[in-house]
Each structure stands twice: as structure tokens, then as C-alpha cells.
A and B are shown apart, each in its own frame.
Chain A
Amino acid sequence: MRMPASSPATEAPAHMDTSVEIEDVAVRFRTRRKDVTALHDVSLSVAAGEFVAIVGPSGCGKSTLLKLVSGLMKPSKGQVTLLGEKVDGPRRDIGYVFQRAALLEWRSARKNILLQAEMRGMPSAVARERADELIAMTGLTGFEDAYPHELSGGMQQRVALCRALLHRPPVLLMDEPFGALDALTREHMNIELRRIWRETGTTILLVTHSIPEAVYLADRVVVMSARPGTIDELIAVDLPLERDYGKTMSEPGFARATGRIRDLLGAATSAD
């Protein structure tokens, strides 16, 4: 890792519990023709309730990192600890949101959200109440009975978010959740995600391609480089907790962080 040892962003603040601990992890794929190193020498510690964004060029293993945390994939080397427990196989104490909403088209919005409860065997009264709460929180009210094809991309992604939050997961993993949305909808979703994060206190790991999105939303931004995928730098975002979208964009802290990330990513791409 090429990060400065004195950086205050290196480790999670000591007074908080650690939610996700990634220790010296490597992932290698063996294809028929060659060995591919997707991740190399990656260590990261995320505090409980922290919002961490991960940015980097395509193919740097950002999504792989989330798969490791969820246990959908196993590292070739190193280990991942989630909520104090070593990750070994798919974990159910997380929520996952993909770029595509991945909704079941034969279920209404509410039924899609409740899939989470049915699969886990949650008591249905509790689940229904929680679903109503989330529907109101994400602004889906009035669209509960609509089918996925009747909803816009932004609305579909809200449904996926509600589904991921239904069981109050302590950790939420988001893999480019707004990547397929238009710029305006994306801004709205950023504002709402920030608000939801503050209301729920969930630890969030967000993979994104958008530098402003990463800086606006996160406490810390992980900048990765490709081939092999590794962490370049951890950037602590110097912005207040209460972030008005428009005002934040013109803050000096915002400009500093985005500028630094652009420098890093620019260097990474020109080095290719």
C-alpha cells in the first residue's frame, strides 16, 4: 500500500467498534490460460456506523471486495471479519444492493420488499410494519402495489434499497446502486441515501464510479488502482455531518477531496 503512514484516515477511529475488518486480502482467479490477480494486499478497517465509499477504475476489484465482505466469494489469502466473526460462506447479517435492482417482476413493490422477510422467516407482522416504515422513508408511498415494469429506474432502486434494509442489517453493501440512473435522479438518490444512512445508523460500503457521489456521501473514500487491484489511498472527507447537496458542492473540503481523488485516478489511468 502506498498510503502515508501518518494519514488520519488509515484506521477507523479507535473509540468505535469495528464493523468490517479486511486483513491482507488477495484474490486470484485461475483461468485456463493464465492466473489473474483481482485483488492484492488489501487491508481496510471500517467502523460501526461509518459510510465508506470505494472508487477506482474498472476492473480494480471493487465489486470483488464487497463479495468478500458478504461471503459470496472467498479470498485466496488473508481474511475478512464481519461484526467480529470471520466470514466463511454467505452472510445473512448484511443487506446487498446491486446496480440492477434485481426485482422479481411477478411481485409488486411491497411484495418484492417482503421477499427478504419470507426468505429469512421473519414474523410477518413485524416485516409488514417495517416495510411500511421503509416505504414511507424512501418515498415509495403510492407505489407499493405497482409492479417493477411500471416503475422508473429510480423507483425500482428504491424498492431494492427497502428490500436490503428490511431486516435492519448492521452492514449495507452497495455495488454501484445508482450507476444506471440519469444524473438528476442520481442526485436525488444521493440526498436520500445520506438521509437514510443518518436515520438508520447502518454501516455502508458503497462502490461507485462517481467521484462527487463518493465524496458527498462518505466519511472516508477508498481509492483503488487496477492490475492488481489494491488500495492506493484512504481519504478522510472533511465535511460536516449535515450536508446540504448544493452547499457541499462548493465547500473547500469537497473540492480538496474530489481533486485529490481525480489526481490519483488520473495517475492510475495514465500509468496503464
Chain B
Amino acid sequence: MAVQSAREAPVGVAERARPGVAEQALRVLGRAWRPAALLALLFAGWWVITATGLVQPYLVASPGDTFAVIGDKFDYFWQNTLVTLWETLAGFVLAIVVGVLAAVMMVYSPTIERTLYPLLLFAQVIPKIAVAPLFVVWLGFGIEPKILVALLMAFFPVVISMVTGLKSIDPEMLQLSATMGAGPLKTFYKIRMPASLPHLFSGLKIGVTLAVTGAVVGEFVGANEGLGYVIQQANGNFDTPVLFAGLVVISLLGIVLFALVELLEYFVLPWHASRRVDAATTSM
């Protein structure tokens, strides 16, 4: 009898109908117009201070000059972006591998946690820009020192978020798993790992933007290609439009990578609370 009452009452289960394409497009537009307007306002401000001659062009390049130079030297920017992208991704992926492994070891062994934690903290607080020259001395002018700086920058948020995620599991869930006769490995990949993913993804989103910064910092110290190199060259030549263009491209790179991690999160965690339809509608 409880069955019937639950089936009749719509409170038993939430509305599961998916909105149509047109409706979804409208919804995206409805959410996107505010940030778009803010961005437009910033560009307008930038344009006004350069067009009115309020600031000299060698100090701040105008939006027109900046985007024109990207168009003119498209191949140059494209090649150097690919270099920085490659360094960033290599550093980021290594940070995920090392970070997740370290987190798993720390969660399963309090001894390892106590041993590693101070070292981790030390690696995090040491200014990466100060050790980067040392990496160049050790590893040369290739992409290796850049990957290492990117790895070091992205590593910390990945470890911390993964440790938090693995520890956030309901202890009753683990007890239940023990009564199901599951071994530690099965408990890990069926319960603990998936449960930690929402936390891991918030760490990955921070990590990927830091990896871009790490790669660029590595290039500042000693490089002959990459977006950091582009900016340094432009700075040395007082080529303000190229410098500004470099900044714009680095920012775009960071935004695109961040968006890709978010997209991945969307597909990996369709079940997570932050993705629910009812949560989306109440936020509008």
C-alpha cells in the first residue's frame, strides 16, 4: 500500500524529463549574458583609455593593435602556443599521476601521510620562480624544466583534493563493503575512487590553470620558444602590442583548458549534486 501511495504522489521521485534543445540554448543564453556584458564593458574601457590617448601606446596597446598583431603573426603565435600547451599538458598529466598516487598512499597509510606531508607543504611554499633557474641548470633549455615547474605548481591542489575526497567516504559504506566480503582493491575502485572524484575535479580545475602559469614561468627563466618566451622577447623590444597579444593568448589557453576539465567533469560525474536539473533551475 505504501507502494501505491508513493507511485501516485509525485514527491516520490523527482521530475526526470530532459529539456529540449531550444530550451537549453535559451537557458545557456540566459546565464551567459551577464558575464558577456561584463567582458564587453572591460573591453570598452580598454578601448576608451587607449583611443582617447589617456595612456601612451607604448604603455598599453590598444585592443585593435593587439588583435591585429595576433592576425598578422598568427603562425608565430600558434607555434609558440603549441609549445606552451604541450609543456602544460605534460606537467598537468604528470601532476595528476603523481598526485593521485601520493594521495592514495597517504590515505591508506598514516605513517606515509605523516612522512610526506611536511615535504609536500615545503614543495608548495617554496617559490617556484626562485627554483626554476636551478631546473634550467639541471635539465637544460629544453621543455623538461618547464614541465617540471608546471608539475610542481599543479601537484599540490591535486593531492589535497584527492586526499579530502578519499577521506570523505561514509564510514558505514566501508563497513558495508566489509560485510560484502570485498577486498581493499574492490572497495577502492567500486566505492572510494568514484566517491572521491567530485573533490578531485575541483583540484584539477585549480591545477590546470596553475600548470599554465608554471609552464610560462619556466619559459621566462630560459627558453627559445613558447608564450613566455614571446612575452620576454616583446618586453625586450618594447613591442607592446605583441606583449599584450601574448597575455591574451595565455589567458585564452588557461580558459580553454579549464573549460575542457569542466567538460570532462560534466561527462564523468553526471550524477553529482552540482549537475542536477533542480539545482540549475533554482540558481536562475
Contacts and interface: CB of A to CB of B under 8 A. Distances in A.
A120 interface: yes
B176 A90 contact: no
Interface string B1-24: 111011100011110100000000
Interface residues of A, number: 37
Interface string A18-55: 00000000000000000000000000000000000000
A150 B14 contact: yes
B266 to A, nearest CB: 14
B180 A115 contact: yes
Nearest to A152: B12
Interface in B155-207: 170, 172-173, 175-182, 186-187, 190-191, 194-195
A94 B181 CA distance: 10
Given A118-B190, A185-B2, A149 B276 contact: yes
B177 A146 contact: no
Contacts of B14: 149-150
A151 interface: yes
A120 B13 contact: no
Given A92-B179, A106-B269, A119-B181, A146 B16 contact: yes
Contacts of B1: 188, 191
6 contacts: A72-B178, A106-B272, A118-B186, A119-B181, A149-B271, A150-B16
A151 B190 contact: no
B273 interface: yes
Contacts of A105: 271-273
B12 A143 contact: yes
Contacts of B175: 72, 90, 96
A147 interface: yes
Contacts of A185: 2
Given A150-B14, A152-B12, 7 more contacts: A100-B172, A119-B177, A120-B180, A120-B182, A149-B271, A188-B2, A189-B2
Interface of A: 70, 72, 90-92, 94-96, 98, 100, 102, 104-107, 115-116, 118-120, 139, 141-143, 146-147, 149-152, 154-155, 185, 188-189, 191-192
A88 to B, nearest CB: 13
Contacts of B190: 115, 118-119
Nearest to A106: B271
Interface of B: 1-3, 5-7, 11-14, 16, 170, 172-173, 175-182, 186-187, 190-191, 194-195, 269, 271-273, 276
A158 B272 CA distance: 22
A119 B187 CA distance: 8
B3 A139 contact: yes
Contacts of A155: 6, 12-13
B11 A104 contact: no
Contacts of B271: 105-107, 147, 149
A106 B194 contact: yes
B212 to A, nearest CB: 30
Contacts of A98: 172, 176
B181 A149 contact: no
B112 to A, nearest CB: 24
A89 to B, nearest CB: 9
A192 B13 contact: no
B176 A139 contact: no
A105 B275 CA distance: 12
A104 B177 contact: no
Contact of B170 (A72, A96, A102, A118): A102
A104 B195 contact: yes
Contacts of A141: 3
Nearest to B197: A106
Nearest to B181: A92
B153 to A, nearest CB: 30
Contacts of A118: 186, 190
A155 B7 CA distance: 11
Contacts of B269: 106
A190 B171 CA distance: 26
A189 B1 CA distance: 10
